[in-house]
Chain A
Amino acid sequence: MAAVRTFFLPHYPTYPIHICMFQDVSNAAYLRSQLLEANPDFDYAFLDAAMILSASHLLSASFLALHAHLTHRSKTRTPHSELVFRLHPNPNIGEAYKRFGISDSSSTLIAVKFGKLSKREDGKGDMSGEDVGKFLGEVVQGKCVDVGEQGEEVERFRDLGRIGKVYKVGAPGNKNGNGNGNGKKRAREDADGEGDGDTEPVDKVLEMEMVILGMMTIKGS
């Protein structure tokens, strides 16, 4: 049984979002094949954990997907594919799956499930966190990693270089082309010192996050 955290977005308090993360995943190819076959049991967003910048990043895409679904303006088949779609800066579902979905070789993944939009197999109500944990524990071969009470651990496996490239925003602390391994501590770097009127240090990861949230929100739809 995998450890699942359940989140409720402000203003959508009755739509649980179940999130579960894995590392050392060895059967990503199998998981992907089930997605490609559109196996209804596998109606999840299986995301490459390297591409998730932060809890806000993931929750923002979740909000946009949920909102599109509930206001009948989804561009894709399910709220879960919509989540993948919403993550990408351009309105291109194929690209979105390529960049943010798992690949056959993914070793870390984040699975997201909209509880209320998914019925249990036995038809008895919505998918609970427990249902999700049970299912993922069975089908994912890997080690479950707690995403934390605030989802703060979803950024653990992020690759700032790759994320920066997709969104075309400069990745901070990316001298060797791989901004990985920064854990959850955010490097506070001083402003560029150009005398441009900054009075406070700029947190470059937070800046990147804010730009990305904006890009996801304004993308042509």
Chain B
Amino acid sequence: MNVGLEVACGQQTNSPEKDVPELIDKPSKIARHHHIFPTYTLEFPTLPAIMPEIASPPSPIAVPPQSSSPLHILPPPFTDSNLTVLTQGAEALVYLTTFLTPSTPVVLKYRPPKPYRHPILDKRLTKARLLAEARVLVKCRKEGVKVPGVIGGDYENGWLVLEYIDGVTTRKCLDEWVHRVGMKVVQQDRERGNAERKLEAAAENGVQGEEQELWDLMRRVGSAVGKLHEIGVCHGDLTTSNLMVRKKARSRTEEPHPWPAGRQTASAIREAAITDVDAAPSPAEPMESELSGDIVIIDFGLATQTIADEDRAVDLYVLERAFAATHPAAEPLFREVLKVYGDSFKGAKVVLRRLEDVRLRGRKRSMLG
């Protein structure tokens, strides 16, 4: 009868582990601000030059768990709710909470006002961007591209409630793969010290077991990005952190909600989220299951509705850079992504050709400094 009362009052506890996902995602946020393309203006031309983030910490490690003092006063109805911080990004604060029912986990994305911008202009820009983000998400969902559903929002007040995706980022999958293969090689070939070449070899012809899983994952990435572009959406920040691999838990299929209904405290939800995101692959839960889920694209804060080859190619280029940032050995993996992308819709081949131009410009640009 009384559904929901317990949730809103879940206490928030101090937890240092909480910031691990933050660390993992950091590089993508840095990558976003490399403006590498001469002909490509990121974000909105009407925006004033991006100021240094007020809240940005000197180093990722320095981010405190932030539970004693709230990061921001949240707008209603969240003002008095104790929410769990997932990440504190460049533009948005992301929280884990529940919505509609206590057993519906969701992500609350809040864009706080920017104190350096005129309040009225700020409100208008925030509203426009959030609404654009929500519209693109609904369009994707409607047309069968896997993205988090939009469950609620208040654009004037800067928040959006999104379906919680229970999974890990592709970035984490790649990092773990590099780590795993690297470790093996180091053990086997310590004296020869050609770990790197081994890694590349593993990527080139890795066929057994878990390698196969990774290659399948790459194909699904290629097909997911192809589908996104095909429906006329470009992501605008297509990093490996924004491509999630949804957990393929049996529990998720049997039961619509990852957590039992009823007494759901914020800390219990956070705990569950932490275990999901950060649990190292254990023998009990083999890596295969982690790599084999659906690709869900997240973070449409910079997305646009466009079918321009240039925009599509830039998406691919950003993704390519994200792969390269993981490890040089990830290059063959990305080639597989492109291969599947190229076959995924009419016009994809043209985009691949355009990608070569974008690469060239990127290189020229970096030579000029």
Given contacts A197-B227, A214-B134, 14 further A-B pairs with CB under 8 A are A6-B2, A7-B3, A10-B81, A10-B101, A11-B8, A67-B76, A70-B77, A149-B1, A169-B142, A199-B294, A200-B246, A200-B253, A207-B141, A214-B149
7 closest cross-chain pairs (CB), A and B: A210-B149, A214-B138, A197-B223, A214-B150, A8-B4, A11-B77, A197-B220
> B113-157 interface mask toward A, CB cutoff 8 Å, 1 = contact, 0 = none?
000000000000000000100110110011010000111111011
Q: Do B141 and A56 touch (CB < 8 A)?
A: no
* B256 interface residue per 8 A CB criterion: yes
Q: Which of B60-68, B92-100, B270-278, B322-330 contacts A (4 or more CB under 8 A)?
A: B92-100
The stretch among A36-44, A57-65, A94-102 that forms the contact with chain B is A57-65
Q: List 14 A-B contacts (CB under 8 A).
A: A9-B4, A10-B100, A10-B102, A11-B97, A12-B77, A60-B152, A73-B156, A150-B3, A196-B144, A199-B248, A199-B292, A206-B256, A213-B149, A218-B131
Q: Which of B9, B81, B138 contacts A211 (CB 8 A)?
A: B138
Q: B319 in the interface, Cβ–Cβ < 8 Å?
A: no
- B245 vs chain A, min Cβ distance (A): 10
Please state if B100 and A60 are interface contacts (CB–CB under 8 Å).
yes
**Total A-B pairs in contact (CB under 8 Å)?**
119
Given contacts A5-B1, A60-B151, A214-B137, contact A150 B294 (CB under 8 A): no
B78 partner residues in chain A, CB cutoff 8 A: 11
- The answer on a CB contact under 8 Å between A6 and B152 is no
Decide yes or no whether A198 CB sits under 8 A from chain B.
yes
How many residues on A have C-beta within 8 angstroms of the other chain's C-beta atoms?
Answer: 37
Most chain B CB inside 10 Å of its own CB: which residue of A11, A55, A64: A11
A217 in contact with B150 given A10-B102, A196-B227, A199-B294 (CB within 8 Å): yes
Query: Is residue A13 within 8 Å, beta carbon to beta carbon, of the partner chain?
Result: yes
Q: How far is A8 from B153 in the complex, measured between Cα atoms in Å?
A: 18
Q: Could you tell me the distance in whole angstroms from the C-beta of B112 to the nearest C-beta in chain A?
A: 17
CB distance from A174 to the nearest CB of B (A): 17
| CB–CB B294/A59 < 8 A | no
Residues of B within 8 A of A215 (CB): 138
B89 beta carbon closer than 8 Å to chain A: no
| B261 adjacent to chain A (CB < 8 Å) | yes
Shortest CB distance B2–A (Å) = 6
Scoring A residues 167 to 206 as 1 if CB is less than 8 Å from chain B, else 0, what string do you get? 0010000000000000000000000000011111100001
Interface residues on B, range: 35 or more
A105 within 8 A of B: no
Name the residue in A211, A213, A217 with the highest tally of chain B Cβ atoms < 10 Å from its Cβ: A217
User: Which chain A residues (24-77) contact chain B, with CB distance < 8 Å?
Assistant: 55-56, 59-60, 63-64, 67, 70-71, 73
B295 at the interface (CB under 8 A from A): yes
Q: Say which residue of B99, B153, B295 sits within 8 Å of A197 (CB atoms).
A: B295
- The answer to whether A198 and B134 touch (CB under 8 A), given A10-B98, A11-B8, is no
The residue in chain B whose Cβ has the minimal distance to the Cβ of A207 is B141
Judge whether B206 is part of the interface by a CB distance below 8 angstroms. Answer: no
Nearest A residue to B224 via CB reads: A197
Chain B residue numbers with a CB within 8 Å of A73 are: 156
B163 touches A198 (CB 8 A): no
Most-contacted residue by chain A among B4, B163, B293 (CB, 10 A): B4
Residues of chain B within 8 A of A150, CB atoms compared: 3, 101, 261
CB-based contact A10/B7 at 8 Å: yes
Q: Is the CB of B149 within 8 A of A211?
A: yes
Q: Flag if B2 contacts A8 (CB, 8 Å).
A: yes
B99 in complex: contacting residue of A11, A70, A200, CB < 8 Å: A11
B156 CB contacts on chain A under 8 angstroms: 73
CA distance A140 to B131 in the complex (A): 41
Q: Closest approach, in angstroms, between the C-beta of A93 and any C-beta of chain B?
A: 20
- Whether a CB of chain A sits under 8 angstroms from the CB of B306 is no
| Alpha-carbon gap, A73 to B295, bound state (A) | 38
Q: Please determine whether A196 and B150 come into contact, CB atoms closer than 8 angstroms.
A: no
B229 at the interface (CB under 8 A from A): no
In the bound complex, residues from chain B placing their C-beta under 8 Å from that of A214 are 134, 137-138, 141-142, 149-151
Q: A56 to B248, Cβ gap below 8 A?
A: no
Q: How distant is the Cα of A11 from the Cα of B74 in the complex, in angstroms? A: 12
Assembled-state Cα–Cα distance A92/B233 (Å): 29
A196 CA to B228 CA, complexed, in Å:
12
